[in-house]
């Protein structure tokens, strides 16, 4: 069974630009969660989608948004990039029940210059 | 104060040693506990998943949960150089609408030297 696939692996952007990251979950998984990982803050939850609906959201500004498609693939968008948005962005897929196991992809390393 | 506290190390041990990694937490609502291993430039890999207090064993790994003390541990027996990675504890509040939201510790950097 293929794992969670994230594209692209690396991105370099400049301040003020916007970026879209993509995530394909494990086949059969309908939930996709997004996390930001930085050396200072560690792993922080951004949001979770299930059957194209956002069910949960973390404490990030509105510049961070996401969506999920009918095939469970998900995209995350960051608008008006800031230097502090440089991070590893991880998505995780699961079956979607509370307390369920989360399986992570390898992430997208975003550098904002 | 953070909800989950984990000593970042670094921790350096010789090959074959028993490694003990620990996390404490303050939120009694955490019901599910996980340990992830993360290699450099990779995503976290799920190692252990537990719900109840007590021990769970999987090969060289043992996860221990003490809900009364709000303390979880991961033991690695016969450690190998390939175990060198960052180990992250993670917890899940299974109440309300906490879908997809794990609360992570800061991670412990482990090096096993030959």
Say whether B95 sits in a helix, a strand or coil: coil
User: pLDDT digit string (tens) for A27-67?
Assistant: 999 999 999 999 999 999 999 999 999 999 999 999 999 99
Contact criterion met (CB < 8 Å) for A104 and B44: yes
Asked if B91 reaches chain A (Cβ–Cβ under 8 Å), the answer is no
- Residue A14, pLDDT score: 98
Asked if A66 reaches chain B (Cβ–Cβ under 8 Å), the answer is no
Provide mean pLDDT across the span A82-93: 98
> Which band of pLDDT confidence, cut at 50, 70 and 90, is reported for residue B52?
confident
Contact criterion met (CB < 8 Å) for A33 and B94: no
Contacts of B42 in chain A (CB under 8 A): 106-107
The Cα–Cα gap between B18 and B56 comes to 16
Q: Percent of chain A, pLDDT > 90?
A: 93
> Which band of pLDDT confidence, cut at 50, 70 and 90, is reported for residue B1?
confident
Sheet strands (E) in chain B: 4-6, 11-14, 19-25, 30-38, 45-50, 54-58, 61-66, 71-76, 85-93, 102-104, 108-113
> Which band of pLDDT confidence, cut at 50, 70 and 90, is reported for residue B69?
very high
What six digits make up the tokens of A53?
A: 């609906």
The region, left, alpha or beta by phi > 0 then psi within -120 to 50, assigned to residue B67 is: alpha
> Which band of pLDDT confidence, cut at 50, 70 and 90, is reported for residue A98?
confident
Q: How high does pLDDT run on average in chain B?
A: 94
Contact criterion met (CB < 8 Å) for B104 and A50: no
Q: Which backbone phi and psi does A87 adopt, to 5 degrees?
A: -175, 175
Q: Are A73 and A23 in contact (CB under 8 A)?
A: yes
- Count of CB atoms situated within 10 Å of the CB of B55: 11
- Count of CB atoms situated within 10 Å of the CB of B36: 25
- Chain position carrying tokens 């150089």: B81
């Amino acid at each position: 069974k293929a794992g969670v696939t994230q594209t692209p692996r690396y991105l370099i952007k400049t301040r003020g630009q916007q970026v879209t990251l993509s995530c394909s979950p494990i086949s059969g998984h309908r939930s996709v969660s997004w996390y930001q990982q930085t050396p200072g803050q560690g792993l922080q939850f951004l949001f979770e989608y299930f059957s194209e609906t956002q069910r949960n959201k973390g404490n990030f500004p509105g510049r961070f948004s996401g969506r999920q498609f009918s095939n469970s693939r998900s995209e995350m968008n960051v608008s008006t990039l800031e230097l502090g948005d440089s991070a590893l962005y991880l998505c995780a897929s699961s079956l979607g029940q509370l307390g369920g196991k989360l399986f992570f992809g390898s992430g997208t390393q975003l550098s904002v210059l | 104060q953070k909800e989950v506290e984990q000593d970042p190390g670094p921790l350096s041990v010789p090959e074959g040693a028993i490694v003990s990694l620990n996390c404490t937490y303050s939120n009694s609502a955490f019901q599910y506990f996980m340990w992830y291993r993360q290699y450099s430039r990779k995503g976290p890999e799920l190692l252990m998943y537990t719900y109840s207090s007590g021990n769970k064993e999987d090969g060289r790994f043992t996860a221990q949960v003490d809900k009364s003390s709000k303390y979880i541990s991961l033991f690695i027996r016969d450690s190998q150089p390939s175990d060198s990675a960052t180990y992250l504890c993670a917890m899940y509040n299974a109440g309300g609408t906490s879908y997809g939201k794990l609360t992570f510790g800061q991670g412990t950097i482990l090096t096993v030297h030959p």
